[in-house]
Chains A and B, each alone.
Chain A
Amino acid sequence: MEAFYLPFVEFGFMRRALAGSAALALAAGPLGVFLVLRRMSLMGDAMAHAILPGVAVGFLTAGLSLTAMTIGGMVTGLTVALLAAAVSRLTPQREDASFAAFYLVSLGVGVLLISLRGGNTELLHVLFGTVLGLDDAALILVSATSSITLLVLAVIFRPLVMECLDPLFLRSESRMGPVVHVVFLLLLVMTLVAGFQVLGTLMVVGIMMLPAAAARFWSVTATGQMILAALGGVFASYAGLLFSYHANVAASPAIILSAGILYFMSLIFGTQGGLWQVARQARARSLRLSRISRRDE
C-alpha cells in the first residue's frame, strides 16, 4: 500500500515531477478533446514539430534559457499556424495540406539548426523533457500556462463549441469565429511550449491526445469529455511516475505509456461505444432476433 505514495512523500523531485506533469495534463486534456472534436488530432503532433525551430533558435542564442526557448517556440508555432490558415484562405490549397507543408519545412529547419551544434544532448532534453529535473522556474511556467489556458477555455467555451459544431451558424450570428480560432491556436502553442520541458516536444502531444481519445468512450458531452481527459492525464502522470520509480525505467515514456494503457482500457471497456459493450449489444440483438424468429415459427 505504501508503495503507492511513499516515493512522493520521500522525495521532492518526485513531488515536483507529479506537480509539473499534472498541471500540464489538466490543460492538455481539454485542448486535446477539442482537437479530436475538430478532427485536428494530427495537428497537435504537427504543431509540436512546428515549434521545434523556434525552440532551437532560442537555445542556440541563449542556451537553456526558458524565456528564449518559450518565445522562440511561440513565434514559430504561431507563424506556421497563421501562415497555413492564410494560405488555405487565399489559395485553393486546403488547410490540412498547407499546414502539413509548413510544419514539415519548420521541422527541417529545426533539425538543421540542431545539427549545427552537433546533436547536443541538452537539445535532446528539449525533445524528451526532463520531468525529473523540474526546477522552480519550470514549475511556475507550467502552472501559470495551464491556469491561463483553463481560464481562457472556460471563457471561450460556448463560441469554441459552436465553431467546432456548426461554424456557418456561428458566422451568421457573430464575428467571433476567426478570433476564437486564433485564440485556440494560441492556447495550443502555449501549452505545447510549456509542456516541452516536462515531457519534451515529442511526448507532450501524447499527454494531450491519449486521454482525450480515451475520454470519448466514457462521455457523450463535450464538457464531460474535457473533465475526464484532464483527470485521465493526471492519473497517467501519477501512474507513470510510480512505474518509473518501482520498475526503474525512464519517466516520460512511462507516463505516456500509462496514458496509452488508459486509452486501450477505455477502448475495450468504455461505456460509450467500447468494444466490449458493442459486442454485448450485438449479442443481445442477435438473441432478440432469434427469439422473435423462433416465436414466428
Chain B
Amino acid sequence: MSSSTFFSHYPYSARRRRWLGMVASALVLGAWSAHAVSREPLPVVATFSILADMVKEVGGDRVAVTTIVGNDADAHGFEPKPQHAKALREAKVLVLNGLDFEPWLPRLTQASGFEGIKVLATEGVKVRRLGGRDTDAGHDHGSAAKHDGHSHGEADPHAWQDLTNGMIYARNIAAGLSKADPRNANYYESRASSYIARMKALDNEVKAAIAAIPPDRRRVISSHDAFGYFAAAYGVDFIPISGLSNQSEPSARDVARIIQMARDTGVAGVFIENMSSSVMAQQVARESGVLMGGTLYADALGPVDQPASTYLGMISWNAGRLVYVLKQSLQN
C-alpha cells in the first residue's frame, strides 16, 4: 500500500499533519532535554579552596565546582591563567569572598565574559577592621612585587576563621545556588542547614577547649594577620609578623617589636602557615626562644589526603594545634 493512498484516506490535510508531527517531536525533545538539563550538575566556580569545599557541601552532587586558587596556594599573590577564564565563562555561579581578598578577580570576570550569578560569601558578615594592634600602624608593603595586585584595604578578609561567619557563608551560598537553580532549591537549603548544624557543634567544641586555658596564657605569634576573626571569636591572642598579606616585607621595627613582646610577655608558640614562607617566623622563634608551634591553615586548605582538606577539618586542626601548644606552654 503506498503512503499517498493511505494518507489520502485521512480527513486532515497533509500540511496540518506535518505540523502535528513537528509539534509532537518538539514536545518529546523538550521533555527529554528538560530532563537532561535537570540532571546535569550546575557549573560553579569558587575563587579559592575553602569556598570550594563549602560549595561542595551545600551543593552536593548537583554542582560541579571548579576552584581557581587551589589547595596550599596563596590567593593574595595569585596570577590567573587562561584555563580559569574558560572555566568562568562556562560557569553559572561564581562564589567569591570579597573584602579585597581576590584583587585579580574583577579583571578576570570581565575578560572571561562571565554572565552568571555572583555570590558574595561575606555578605552580612560583621567585618573586622584593622587598627586594633600597634604592629598594624605603619606597616608596609613590598611595593615592587611583580605579582602584587593586592591593595591595602582596611578590612580583614579572613572572615571564615570564625565558624559563626562560616554559617553566614553557607547561607549565602545556598541562596545563590537556589537562585541559579530553583529546581533544586530545597535540596540546597536542607544541605546547608545540616552543614550549619555541624559548624555549630564544632564551634561549641572549640570554645570549650580554649576556655580550659587561662585567658592570660593564650598568646601566639603567626606569620601573617590571618586569624583576626578566630582571635575575636575564640579568645586567642594572635600577634602577626606580617600584615594582611604575605606580600608585605616586615620592617626591622615590626620584627623587633614582636621579639620584644615575645620576650617580655608569655608567648606560647610561633606558627607558620601552609601557603607561605616560614623564614621570618623561624627567625622570630630563634631569637625570642619561643618554640615553633607548627603549621596552621590560614588562606587555603591542605592537600586532599590530609586532615585540613575540608573547611571543618581545617578549623578543627587549627584549634587542636593551638590548644595543644597552649597547653604545652602552661606546663613550662
Contact = CB atoms under 8 A, between A and B. Distances in A.
Contact of B249 (A134, A247, A251): A251
Contacts of A118: 69-70, 73-74, 78-79
Contact of B147 (A119, A122, A202): A119
B186 interface: no
Contact of A120 (B77, B139, B141, B254): B77
A111 B147 CA distance: 11
A127 interface: yes
Interface stretch (A8-16, A76-84, A214-222, A270-278): A8-16
Contact of B74 (A13, A121, A245): A121
Interface in B87-106: none
Interface stretch (B158-166, B273-281, B309-317, B323-331): B273-281
A108 interface: no
Interface in A94-112: 111
Given A11-B256, A202-B144, A135 B78 contact: no
A251 B142 CA distance: 10
A7 B259 CA distance: 12
B256 A135 contact: no
A117 B74 CA distance: 10
B248 to A, nearest CB: 8
Contacts, number: 115
B139 to A, nearest CB: 8
B255 A246 contact: no
A64 interface: yes
B129 interface: no
A40 B284 CA distance: 40
B145 interface: yes
B252 A251 contact: yes
Interface string B238-251: 00000000111111
A196 to B, nearest CB: 13
Interface string A259-291: 000000000000000000000000000000000
Nearest to B149: A119
A7 B251 CA distance: 13
Nearest to A122: B277
B320 to A, nearest CB: 25
Given A14-B256, A244-B253, A120 B283 contact: no
Nearest to A12: B287
Contacts of B275: 121
A97 B275 CA distance: 40
A202 B248 CA distance: 16
B82 to A, nearest CB: 11
Considering residues A17, A64, A118, which has the most beta carbons from chain B within 10 angstroms of its beta carbon?
A118
Given A10-B256, A132-B280, A250-B140, A244 B251 contact: yes
B286 interface: yes
B146 interface: yes
B76 interface: yes
Contacts of B141: 250
A132 B78 CA distance: 25
A10 B138 CA distance: 22
B295 interface: no
B282 interface: yes
A210 B218 CA distance: 47
B253 A132 contact: no
Contact of B251 (A64, A115, A134, A245): A245
Given A64-B277, A119-B74, 7 more contacts: A115-B79, A118-B74, A121-B276, A124-B77, A245-B252, A249-B140, A250-B249
Interface of B: 69-70, 73-74, 76-79, 81, 138-147, 246-256, 259, 275-277, 279-280, 282-284, 286-287
Interface of A: 7, 10-14, 17, 64, 111, 115, 117-122, 124-125, 127-128, 130, 132-135, 202, 241, 244-253
29 contacts: A11-B255, A13-B287, A64-B277, A118-B69, A118-B70, A118-B73, A118-B74, A119-B74, A120-B74, A122-B276, A124-B146, A127-B145, A128-B144, A130-B249, A132-B255, A132-B280, A135-B283, A135-B286, A244-B251, A245-B251, A245-B252, A245-B253, A246-B253, A247-B251, A247-B253, A248-B139, A248-B254, A250-B140, A251-B252
